[in-house]
């Protein structure tokens, strides 16, 4: 794979109609999720934006990207350090990767999880998968839609670039026990998920991939 960015994220199991995140350590969940009726939406491809020769012409100016006020200066600094960095394409790639990584975690695909994460975050993923399998539970989750994805913060302290994105999504989630009985969730109602992830890259490295270094939920 030669993408401009590979992004990791995590949203763990759904139990008792409450959504929690392992990496964000959301074990009690701060607020009740708001159920929504599931409506079919096309799946986004997992492919990431390409860098280098097939970078799009006419990239969106910094002020037009989905970012909160105040992030533009640091995004411009990252772009000056890494000429292949395009904030708008970064967000679009993050949305595709969001789906890809969630599905890898839900299905217990350790290889994909390990490939996309640093050591600490990867171990959190894999520990959660191990615990789930020890209980004999299986997940039947589906990312229905990503309502919004925006850059909250950016920071460049040579040579390290960091970008924080918030994802607002609807997820249909269902958990079965070792006997196949439903113990939580529903595939006909979607739950709101709000996740914040910070991605990091050494812009002097030949490795073009970004790594998740922090997660939180709101």
> Is 14-25+63-217 assigned to CATH 1.10.150.120?
no
Tell whether the model's pLDDT for residue 71 goes beyond 60: yes
pLDDT in tens, 7-37: 333 333 322 222 223 333 222 333 344 455 5
Any idea which residue has 């520990």 for tokens?
A: 127
In contact, 8 and 211? CB cutoff 8 Å: yes
Dump pLDDT digits (tens) for 124-138.
Answer: 989 999 999 999 999
Residue 119: pLDDT over 60: yes
Helix axes 119-134, 87-107, angle to 10 degrees: 30
Domain boundaries, the chain: 14-25+63-217
Residues 141-159 have pLDDT tens digits of 999 999 999 999 999 999 9
Q: Would you say residue 60 has pLDDT above 60?
A: no
Closest to 7 in 3D by CA, of 130, 133, 96, 126: 96
Measure CA of the first residue to CA of the last residue in the chain; give whole Å: 32
pTM of the model: 0.70
* pLDDT confidence bin for 66, thresholds 50/70/90: low
């Amino acid at each position: 794979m030669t993408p401009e960015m590979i992004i990791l994220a995590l949203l763990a199991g759904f139990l008792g109609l409450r959504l929690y995140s392992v990496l964000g350590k959301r074990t009690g969940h701060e607020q009740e999720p708001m159920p929504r009726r599931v409506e079919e939406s096309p799946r986004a491809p997992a492919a990431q934006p390409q860098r280098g020769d097939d970078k799009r012409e006419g990239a969106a100016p910094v002020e037009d990207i989905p970012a909160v006020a105040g992030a533009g200066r640091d995004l411009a600094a990252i772009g000056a350090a890494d000429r292949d960095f395009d904030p708008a394409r970064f967000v679009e790639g993050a949305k595709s990767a969001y789906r890809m990584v969630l599905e890898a975690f839900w299905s217990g695909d350790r290889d994909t999880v390990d490939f996309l994460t640093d050591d600490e975050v990867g171990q959190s993923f894999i520990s959660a998968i191990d615990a789930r399998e020890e209980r004999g539970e299986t997940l039947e989750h589906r990312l229905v839609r990503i309502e919004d994805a925006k850059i909250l913060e950016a920071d460049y302290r040579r040579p390290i670039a960091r970008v924080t994105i918030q994802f607002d999504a609807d997820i249909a989630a269902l958990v079965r026990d070792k006997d196949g009985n439903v113990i939580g969730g529903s595939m006909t109602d979607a739950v709101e998920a709000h996740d914040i992830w910070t991605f990091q890259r050494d812009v002097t490295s030949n490795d073009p991939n970004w790594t998740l270094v922090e997660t939180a939920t709101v």
